[in-house]
Amino acid sequence: MKVTENEAQNKSLAEFELKKAKRISGVGEYIKRQIFPKVREKNAGGICLEIGCGHGHWLSSYAQSDSQNIFVGIDLISKRIRKAERKKDFSKLENLFFLKAEAGEFLQALPRDLPILSTFIMYSDPWPKKRHFKKRLIQNSFLNLLAEKSCKNSNLFFKTDHQGYFDWTTHLLKVSPHWTVGEEKWPHDAGSFFADLLETSLTCSAKLK
């Protein structure tokens, strides 16, 4: 029987969704087995999350300075996560986890009883061309999902070297029904791979209403 173009499209869409569901379920298992018991043990109340942690410089330094909180760094790129894990192992940091995950998928996998205490996003890709704005991480849908998974008064910290992306993010935060732009001080001062390469840095923070 000849497979129509429509049938082929439906099949590849179904395969894509199946793969995505498997990834989310894998992340959920990792959270349940590795992260959740540590949060319980430390009575930490939730996690501090860095989205797009790259090689993990900044988060490793933060986790080293604060042994009471549990830190989780996620990134899309396996090689970066492997480098970050080497830092964690070298410093024997038990309160730090790195995993390969896409931001939206990680948030979907995060159970309700494991809230986010604070979120950090540093030098996320600015996608400077207008036709690529839809690829930016910060979108209304992302801010809504992040709000759903964060605890009350949770802070979102954002840093970029790109004025357009900074304006975009502060605008979306200002009009968000969930977030209020604030003046919270950046809680940990240390370099990151990109911070050390770039000259400009624009920062903003927002609190969950």
Ligand X SMILES: C[S@@+](CC[C@H](N)C(=O)[O-])C[C@H]1O[C@@H](n2cnc3c(N)ncnc32)[C@H](O)[C@@H]1O
Residues that bind ligand X (CB under 6 A): 51-54, 74-77, 80, 102-103, 122-125, 137, 192-195
Give the integer Cα–Cα distance in Å for 161 and 175: 22
In the residue annotation, 113 being an active-site residue is answered as no
The minimum distance between CB 5 and ligand X, in angstroms, equals 30
Nearer to ligand X, 7 or 186 (CB): 186
Q: Which of 89, 125, 167, 189 is catalytic?
A: 125
Closest residue by beta carbon to ligand X: 52
> Which amino acid makes up residue 93?
L
* DSSP assigned state of 3: P
CB of 85 to ligand X, least distance (A): 14
Query: Do 77 and 119 touch, CB atoms closer than 8 A?
Result: no
Q: What are φ and ψ of residue 200, in 5° steps?
A: -90, 150
Nearer to ligand X, 79 or 209 (CB): 79
> Which amino acid appears at position 85 of this protein?
E
From the list 29, 39, 61, the residue with the least C-alpha distance to 117 is 39
Q: Which is nearer to ligand X, 66 or 102 (CB)?
A: 102
Q: How far is the CB of 44 from ligand X (least distance, A)?
A: 22
Choice between 11 and 79, CB closer to ligand X: 79
Is residue 98 packed enough to be buried (19+ CB in 10 Å), middle (13-18) or exposed (0-12)? Answer: buried
The minimum distance between CB 127 and ligand X, in angstroms, equals 10
Structure tokens at 93: 């940091």
- Tokens coding 66: 């604060």
**Active-site residues: which are they?**
125
